[in-house]
Structure 1
């Protein structure tokens, strides 16, 4: 009975996924046609044209796949393309994993309809799990389809739009099943380094590092909370003490955040709403996934003399290693970065 119910649940999930992806394929329009149409809003045309230039740069200068991805546009008429559902047990910071034939096991499930995501979240909450729903503006099909630029992506500024194209194309180039931190860190490095080179090619100054520094500081605070909760959950105390300790740690995190903000970023309040909203284990899951190994990939790029094709070959060699060996190599690469930064 359990296997049958699981199969039915999977069938429903894949049905909505196929339906949602099919709608994107049906509604996509060639960007060249849109840009050349006099009736197109000039602001939309200008943004899509710049994105196409970034798309060309990605293939010609960054060595990313040269295919039809991001050469078409879809107006979604909604804020997000999918809603991801994250879940973790009430007293664990380890995610509930979802496994798929191509992508392997990941820490979330994506739904094309927000109502479906809420229904899945309610099912998980009924089981006693902590749950979080997050709207997603872009995603990759890993080259199985020609991924379009989505209207949800146009809510970003040009740098984020263009660099996200680099990020998603990087997933098409190299992807390792069952290793989200590796995949996302690799794609994030390509995104960040690609953006530096893209801006330089257009004669633009380097980005202000202030925003990145603030993001890094906040992520460090959240990861510290996750580590504290992990220790609490491993302590073996009873449920009442566990729940009390959990809430105390979350309250202490909010106080540490306020002190950090007031000391280092007194005029910045961009994270206030996130911190004030209810916090649970699932809400902490996305943090660290996208940048855990980025220093290691930066070191690998440096060792490749900044040559993209040589860098990708070294990443492929790394991807073929067993996970434990791969993680150990990434740790070593990261230590070299830390050592060089600490040197006088």
Structure 2
């Protein structure tokens, strides 16, 4: 293992070598980990400091404009959102492909519970990523032959959770400006807080931070046109999410209905997905034009696709309520999220969804502590005052550095 100096803007690649060593412990897993290492090394080789890209006469003016925008977003994340940068997004890598990785999702034909894969660094997650689209599709076909519903989705960016310095990638630099900001805020949130084996918790938290970050960034730095466009996009996103939620609730009732046999459940499943598609077509007619979802809804709906989409969203309302209870203060919100991240898995999501009940159960203990220590009665568990929920100190490589 060796590390090049961070001051020179290089990565520590011990993480990559560690992943390869872990893969070597399982012969059948070695090809998968080898492609992961090769893909990460390929990104590192393509990286160039943004400062050099900006002064390079060969760099297209559109790329320069977007990179300057990224630097503006990056500064806002650090100073206004309390997101630690840890060297992320100071380099640029042109990958010459539409996505950095392709994720494979799978679910049983009569369940919305996604199949999980376990890895040395990320823990267990509900997807398996490939740096090659062909390899991802090959693996998805193998799962389909075993009876799974499968979905392969392209990913424009991902976070290495503080083990490497994540660069700006060409795979998302051409997106709308607000989408670029959303991606950066989302991935920086992962770098700040990541709970192993909790895909829905992690993705919903990061998406909450990203949405709040974009709104605050636009309020501070955006134009009226950008703010209006973002409001329209979020309204459309909310409408699509409502369709997805309704379909998921319908499917859960079907799959858990003991009076239906497997064949009946499969027929009811097909009817539910037809209704979802029809609902989306109705939205398209109401929107009159481009909306950003056409390619997504051209895919064949199944449990894997719906589960993948909902894994990013199902806890977002709970996180938004938690942020509101903390008075909109992101540092306090992060502290509370860390607290929830320490709860045992069976309790975590349930308690997050019922935070008011949890606070009420903790309040007598707080009052007793106040009586013993003499703390003023104005101190609360939530809101803009202290004390807060206990902070968890995370053991992360960048902290050691």
- Under TM normalisation by the shorter chain, which class is it? 0.7 to 0.9
Residues 232 and 245, structure 1, Cα contact 8 Å, conserved in 2: yes
Residues 205 and 316, structure 2, Cα contact 8 Å, conserved in 1: yes
Aligned-partner Cα distance in 1 for 2:89–2:326: 28
List per-residue Cα deviations over 1:191-217 (Å, max 9, x = no partner): 111112222332534444222122112
Q: Does 1:126 align with 2:145?
A: yes
Q: Does 1:146 align with 2:165?
A: yes
2:81 maps to which of 62, 73, 81: 62
Aligned-partner Cα distance in 1 for 2:104–2:80: 36
CA drift of 1:251 comes to 2.3
Structure 2 length as normaliser, TM-score?
A: 0.76
List per-residue Cα deviations over 1:162-212 (Å, max 9, x = no partner): 221111011011111111121111111211111122223325344442221
Which secondary structure state, in structure 1, belongs to the residue aligned with residue 153 of structure 2?
strand
Structure 2 counterpart of 1:255: 278
Unpaired stretches in structure 1, ≥5 consecutive residues = 1-5, 337-344
Structure 1 counterpart of 2:269: 246
CA drift of 1:310 comes to 2.2
Alignment of 1:1-344 (within 5 A): 7-202=26-221, 204-205=223-224, 206-207=227-228, 208-236=230-258, 237-259=260-282, 261-262=284-285, 265=287, 270-271=292-293, 274-333=296-355
CA drift of 1:267 comes to 5.3
CA drift of 1:319 comes to 1.5
Structure 1 counterpart of 2:16: none
Range with bigger deviation, 34-43 or 75-84: 34-43
List per-residue Cα deviations over 1:74-119 (Å, max 9, x = no partner): 1111111000101111222211111122222211100000111011
Aligned-partner Cα distance in 2 for 1:231–1:301: 31
Residues 293 and 334, structure 1, Cα contact 8 Å, conserved in 2: no
Aligned-partner Cα distance in 2 for 1:44–1:134: 25
Aligned-partner Cα distance in 2 for 1:109–1:286: 12
Instruction: Report the number of matched residues.
Output: 331
- 1:55–1:288 CA distance, 2 compared to 1 (3 A): same
Unpaired stretches in structure 2, ≥5 consecutive residues = 1-24, 359-401
Aligned-partner Cα distance in 2 for 1:30–1:270: 31
Aligned-partner Cα distance in 1 for 2:28–2:293: 36
Which secondary structure state, in structure 2, belongs to the residue aligned with residue 209 of structure 1?
helix
- 1:334–1:139 CA distance, 2 compared to 1 (3 A): farther
CA drift of 1:43 comes to 1.4
Aligned-partner Cα distance in 1 for 2:45–2:321: 42
Which secondary structure state, in structure 2, belongs to the residue aligned with residue 144 of structure 1?
coil
Aligned-partner Cα distance in 1 for 2:162–2:202: 15
Which structure carries more relative contact order (alpha carbon 8 Å, separation 6+)? 1
Residues 273 and 301, structure 2, Cα contact 8 Å, conserved in 1: yes
CA drift of 1:259 comes to 4.3
| Larger-gyration structure (1/2) | 2
CA drift of 1:160 comes to 1.1
Structure 1 length as normaliser, TM-score?
A: 0.88
List per-residue Cα deviations over 1:42-79 (Å, max 9, x = no partner): 11111101101211221122111132111101111111
Aligned-partner Cα distance in 2 for 1:102–1:283: 25
